[in-house]
Homo-oligomer: A and B are copies of this chain.
């Protein structure tokens, strides 16, 4: 039975980290909320998992993965579940935990990137918090992007199996997430991110390699890849980059 992914149908958002893993592995899945409500898909299917009292283990938010009778929320928890099934993580318990730790750190950057355009509240429009966003984005650009990319560079440099992958000598879901993080940062803050990437050549090279992965590159060219846009997490507002 194909995996069911439930996420907002018009943005990459956090769902994209799950989509990339499923696509890179060539796993069968249905992007449910992008389907037709008349066939039991679409947004009503997403609402069901978030709101119906019949869901014994309700996710607080999407993305949600349905695997048989298991309903899983939280992006990193979904990838923890999928990793071994999609062969996108090493075999040892220690490697799996380390991969997860990197994923959680990438999730932290993603939260901070979202916070640059929504520093006051995710419940308000960007237009209602532009002044705050300007200050938040400056800190993120000048301090956090270099710190986080620098940390990923160190992880690559110190990998005993070489600097081609974050963990071991094979592609993992953390590599895919690094790709998505860098792609998002380049979209949202092209000037600041290109500047930071000059000091993190291994991160840049890994991002390129993932983009050229056979299944990933096919996915990126397909209609299944939603373009970045200003409803997502990574938003390009020229006034926030420098």
Contacts and interface: CB of A to CB of B under 8 A. Distances in A.
Contacts of A223: none
A113 B132 CA distance: 17
A231 to B, nearest CB: 19
Most buried by B among A115, A124, A143: A115
Given A100-B80, A101-B74, A158-B53, A132 B120 contact: yes
12 contacts: A53-B158, A56-B160, A58-B155, A60-B108, A70-B94, A72-B97, A72-B101, A76-B76, A80-B97, A111-B111, A121-B135, A132-B135
Contact of A136 (B56, B105, B119, B155): B119
A52 to B, nearest CB: 10
Interface string A139-165: 110010000100100110011100000
Given A58-B151, A60-B148, A121-B143, 15 more contacts: A56-B159, A56-B160, A58-B154, A58-B155, A60-B108, A73-B105, A76-B76, A77-B97, A77-B104, A80-B97, A81-B97, A119-B119, A119-B136, A120-B132, A124-B139
A57 interface: yes
The A contact surface, by secondary structure, is helix
A126 to B, nearest CB: 14
A158 B71 CA distance: 14
Interface of A: 53, 55-60, 70, 72-74, 76-77, 80-81, 94, 97-98, 100-101, 104-105, 108, 111, 115, 119-121, 123-124, 129, 132, 135-136, 139-140, 143, 148, 151, 154-155, 158-160
Given A53-B158, A56-B160, A148-B60, A121 B94 contact: no
Nearest to A140: B121
Contacts of A154: 53, 58
